[in-house]
Amino acid sequence: MTHKKCIDPAAARHFLGHYQNLLESIPITKPKTNVVTQLAAARDALHADPALLQPALAHLQNLGSPCADDVLQAVQTLCVDNWIYVSDTATHSQFLEPKGAAAYATKTLTTPLKEMFGSSGAVLSCGLLVFQGQVICDGLVRFVAWLGPNYRSSFKEQLAACRAQGRLYRDHLQPSTPP
Protein backbone atom coordinates (compact mmCIF):
# COMPACT_ATOMS: atom_id res chain seq x y z
CA MET A 1 0.00 0.00 0.00
CA THR A 2 1.26 3.47 -0.90
CA HIS A 3 1.15 5.99 1.90
CA LYS A 4 0.95 9.74 1.24
CA LYS A 5 3.78 10.38 3.73
CA CYS A 6 6.12 8.15 1.71
CA ILE A 7 7.65 8.64 -1.71
CA ASP A 8 6.57 6.50 -4.65
CA PRO A 9 7.41 2.83 -3.91
CA ALA A 10 9.41 2.38 -7.16
CA ALA A 11 11.38 5.55 -6.41
CA ALA A 12 11.99 4.30 -2.86
CA ARG A 13 13.37 0.95 -4.12
CA HIS A 14 15.56 2.80 -6.63
CA PHE A 15 16.90 5.17 -3.97
CA LEU A 16 17.46 2.45 -1.38
CA GLY A 17 19.38 0.17 -3.75
CA HIS A 18 21.77 2.85 -4.94
CA TYR A 19 22.11 4.57 -1.55
CA GLN A 20 22.93 1.31 0.21
CA ASN A 21 25.51 0.35 -2.46
CA LEU A 22 27.12 3.76 -2.12
CA LEU A 23 27.22 3.64 1.67
CA GLU A 24 28.67 0.13 1.60
CA SER A 25 31.53 1.58 -0.48
CA ILE A 26 32.41 4.18 2.17
CA PRO A 27 35.30 2.99 4.34
CA ILE A 28 34.51 3.01 8.05
CA THR A 29 36.72 2.06 10.96
CA LYS A 30 33.99 0.73 13.24
CA PRO A 31 33.97 -3.03 13.79
CA LYS A 32 31.51 -5.04 11.73
CA THR A 33 28.12 -5.06 13.42
CA ASN A 34 24.67 -5.25 11.93
CA VAL A 35 24.11 -3.80 8.47
CA VAL A 36 21.97 -0.87 9.66
CA THR A 37 24.63 0.25 12.14
CA GLN A 38 27.28 -0.02 9.42
CA LEU A 39 25.19 1.97 6.94
CA ALA A 40 24.50 4.69 9.51
CA ALA A 41 28.22 4.86 10.37
CA ALA A 42 29.11 5.15 6.68
CA ARG A 43 26.46 7.84 6.19
CA ASP A 44 27.81 9.78 9.19
CA ALA A 45 31.39 9.42 7.89
CA LEU A 46 30.35 10.69 4.46
CA HIS A 47 28.54 13.66 6.00
CA ALA A 48 31.59 14.49 8.13
CA ASP A 49 34.01 14.08 5.21
CA PRO A 50 32.47 14.61 1.75
CA ALA A 51 35.84 13.72 0.18
CA LEU A 52 34.91 10.07 0.81
CA LEU A 53 32.33 10.30 -1.97
CA GLN A 54 34.66 10.25 -5.00
CA PRO A 55 36.59 7.08 -4.04
CA ALA A 56 33.28 5.33 -3.28
CA LEU A 57 31.88 6.35 -6.67
CA ALA A 58 35.07 5.14 -8.39
CA HIS A 59 34.78 1.81 -6.54
CA LEU A 60 31.18 1.38 -7.70
CA GLN A 61 32.16 2.29 -11.27
CA ASN A 62 34.92 -0.35 -11.18
CA LEU A 63 32.37 -2.92 -10.03
CA GLY A 64 30.15 -2.02 -12.99
CA SER A 65 27.47 -0.73 -10.63
CA PRO A 66 27.59 3.08 -10.88
CA CYS A 67 25.46 5.23 -8.61
CA ALA A 68 22.34 6.61 -10.31
CA ASP A 69 22.56 10.33 -11.06
CA ASP A 70 19.45 11.26 -9.07
CA VAL A 71 20.74 9.41 -6.00
CA LEU A 72 24.16 11.02 -6.39
CA GLN A 73 22.51 14.46 -6.57
CA ALA A 74 20.54 13.63 -3.42
CA VAL A 75 23.65 12.46 -1.55
CA GLN A 76 25.31 15.77 -2.34
CA THR A 77 22.54 17.47 -0.32
CA LEU A 78 22.85 15.10 2.67
CA CYS A 79 22.51 16.76 6.06
CA VAL A 80 22.78 14.59 9.17
CA ASP A 81 21.64 16.02 12.49
CA ASN A 82 19.46 15.50 15.53
CA TRP A 83 16.20 16.76 14.04
CA ILE A 84 13.12 17.67 16.03
CA TYR A 85 10.25 15.57 14.72
CA VAL A 86 7.43 17.92 15.64
CA SER A 87 4.30 16.51 14.04
CA ASP A 88 2.65 14.97 10.99
CA THR A 89 0.22 16.17 8.37
CA ALA A 90 -1.71 13.95 5.98
CA THR A 91 1.17 14.11 3.48
CA HIS A 92 4.44 14.52 5.39
CA SER A 93 6.29 14.67 8.69
CA GLN A 94 7.38 18.08 9.96
CA PHE A 95 10.96 18.46 11.10
CA LEU A 96 12.53 21.45 12.77
CA GLU A 97 16.23 22.19 12.63
CA PRO A 98 17.84 21.95 16.06
CA LYS A 99 18.49 25.70 16.02
CA GLY A 100 14.95 26.42 14.79
CA ALA A 101 16.13 28.38 11.74
CA ALA A 102 14.10 26.28 9.28
CA ALA A 103 11.53 23.53 9.10
CA TYR A 104 11.05 20.76 6.56
CA ALA A 105 8.03 18.94 5.17
CA THR A 106 9.70 15.54 4.96
CA LYS A 107 8.69 12.35 3.17
CA THR A 108 9.91 8.92 4.19
CA LEU A 109 10.93 6.06 1.94
CA THR A 110 8.65 3.14 2.79
CA THR A 111 7.23 3.58 6.31
CA PRO A 112 5.85 6.76 7.87
CA LEU A 113 7.77 7.89 10.94
CA LYS A 114 4.65 7.81 13.09
CA GLU A 115 4.29 4.09 12.28
CA MET A 116 7.93 3.49 13.21
CA PHE A 117 7.85 5.38 16.50
CA GLY A 118 4.18 5.43 17.45
CA SER A 119 4.13 9.18 17.98
CA SER A 120 5.72 12.46 16.99
CA GLY A 121 7.32 14.85 19.48
CA ALA A 122 10.79 13.35 19.48
CA VAL A 123 14.38 14.09 18.63
CA LEU A 124 15.64 11.78 15.87
CA SER A 125 19.09 11.42 14.40
CA CYS A 126 18.87 10.86 10.65
CA GLY A 127 19.91 12.16 7.28
CA LEU A 128 17.74 14.48 5.25
CA LEU A 129 18.31 14.76 1.51
CA VAL A 130 16.58 16.23 -1.51
CA PHE A 131 15.56 13.39 -3.82
CA GLN A 132 13.52 13.94 -6.98
CA GLY A 133 12.46 17.41 -5.85
CA GLN A 134 11.37 16.59 -2.31
CA VAL A 135 13.00 16.48 1.11
CA ILE A 136 13.25 12.90 2.32
CA CYS A 137 14.49 11.10 5.41
CA ASP A 138 17.15 8.53 4.49
CA GLY A 139 15.56 5.77 6.57
CA LEU A 140 18.55 5.31 8.87
CA VAL A 141 16.83 6.75 11.91
CA ARG A 142 18.05 6.61 15.49
CA PHE A 143 15.76 7.62 18.33
CA VAL A 144 17.39 10.22 20.61
CA ALA A 145 14.71 11.46 23.04
CA TRP A 146 11.01 12.01 23.58
CA LEU A 147 9.90 15.58 24.15
CA GLY A 148 7.83 16.54 27.17
CA PRO A 149 4.62 18.54 26.74
CA ASN A 150 6.24 21.96 27.27
CA TYR A 151 9.01 21.24 24.76
CA ARG A 152 6.47 19.93 22.27
CA SER A 153 4.38 23.06 22.64
CA SER A 154 7.42 25.30 22.23
CA PHE A 155 8.60 23.46 19.12
CA LYS A 156 5.11 23.59 17.61
CA GLU A 157 5.22 27.37 18.08
CA GLN A 158 8.63 27.48 16.37
CA LEU A 159 7.26 25.37 13.51
CA ALA A 160 4.28 27.72 13.13
CA ALA A 161 6.67 30.70 13.07
CA CYS A 162 8.79 29.04 10.37
CA ARG A 163 5.68 28.34 8.32
CA ALA A 164 4.40 31.93 8.73
CA GLN A 165 7.81 33.34 7.73
CA GLY A 166 8.14 31.11 4.66
CA ARG A 167 10.85 28.94 6.23
CA LEU A 168 9.04 25.59 5.87
CA TYR A 169 10.73 23.87 2.94
CA ARG A 170 9.52 20.91 0.87
CA ASP A 171 12.00 20.86 -1.99
CA HIS A 172 15.38 21.95 -0.65
CA LEU A 173 17.53 22.10 2.46
CA GLN A 174 18.89 25.34 3.79
CA PRO A 175 22.66 25.62 4.27
CA SER A 176 23.70 24.75 7.81
CA THR A 177 24.05 27.68 10.14
CA PRO A 178 27.12 27.81 12.37
CA PRO A 179 26.58 26.95 16.05
Per residue in 52-66, pLDDT tens?
999 999 999 999 999
Residue 48: domain span: 9-75
- Whether residue 4 is contained in a domain is answered as no
Q: Is residue 177 part of a domain?
A: no
Q: Categorize the per-residue pLDDT at 2 as very low, low, confident or very high, splitting at 50, 70 and 90.
A: low
* pLDDT at residue 29, as a whole number: 75
Number of domains in the chain: 2
Give domain status of residue 178, yes or no: no
Q: What are the Cα distances from residue 5, in Å, to 31, 75, 105?
A: 35, 21, 10
pLDDT in tens, 53-110: 999 999 999 999 999 999 999 999 999 999 999 999 999 999 999 988 999 999 999 9
Residues in the chain: 179
If asked whether residues 85 and 163 sit together in one domain, one would say yes
Look at residue 15 and tell me if it is in a domain.
yes
pLDDT band at 34 (very low <50, low <70, confident <90, very high): confident
What CATH number is associated with residue 149?
2.40.50
- 62-97 per-residue burial string, b: 16 or more CB within 10 A, e: under 16: eeeeebeeebbebbeebbbbebbbbbbeeebbbbbb
Name the domain boundary from 75, 105, 124.
Answer: 75
pLDDT tens per residue across span 36-50: 899 999 999 999 999
3-state secondary structure 68-101: CHHHHHHHCCCEEEEEEEEEECCCCEEEECCCCC
- The pTM score is 0.92
Cα(76)–Cα(157) distance, integer angstroms: 31
Assess if residue 117 is contained within a domain: yes
Say what the pLDDT of residue 33 is: 76
Q: Half-sphere exposure of 132 toward its Cβ, with a 13 Å CA cutoff?
A: 13
Give the per-residue pLDDT at 55.
96
